[in-house]
Amino acid sequence: MIRGFRGATTVKKNTEEQIVNSTKRLLEKMIKENNIFPENVSHIWFTVTSDLDAAFPAKATRLIDGWQFVPVMCAREIPVPQSLPLCIRIMLTAETEAAQDEVHHVYLNDAVSLRPDLELTKKRDSL
């Protein structure tokens, strides 16, 4: 089954180093938590808020061994007033045996505020 795997993170500053390093950390966590292999990935979409333009977050993919051939694309988020600033989002589409409710979406740093319901689900599952 093809599934979407979501993730988001934030950075403190609009620098290439922070964008690439934070994106790499997020992507690696998504890969690990969902047991994703590059040959099963259809593509990855990266989006950034309009206050981030120092680097393409997709560059982080090329820093992970074995992920050089995965198709990637970057875009800008819709500039909704009062939305979370300095935010990088990922939509990774891959083949998986996981059921929809078994997919682990990953939110780091200030991005945890985007999906507090997912944190509640994780806590309930660990009880």
pLDDT by residue (tens digit) across 55-75?
999 999 999 999 999 999 999
Give the pLDDT score at 119.
56
pLDDT per residue as tens digits for the range 106-123: 999 999 988 777 654 454
| The amino acid at 61 | T
Of 9, 7, 26, 21, residue with least CA distance to 86: 9
CA 11, CA 75: separation in Å to the nearest integer?
A: 17
What's the whole-number average pLDDT of the chain?
92
Give the pLDDT score at 122.
54
Residues of the chain with pLDDT > 70, as a percent, come to 92
Q: What is the pTM of this model?
A: 0.90
| The amino acid at 85 | P
Domains belonging to the chain, first-starting first, are 2-125 (3.30.1330.40)
Report, as residue numbers or ranges, the catalytic residues. Answer: 6, 62, 74, 77, 89, 107, 115
The mean per-residue pLDDT over the stretch 14-23 comes to 98
Residue labelled with tokens 């875009």: 75
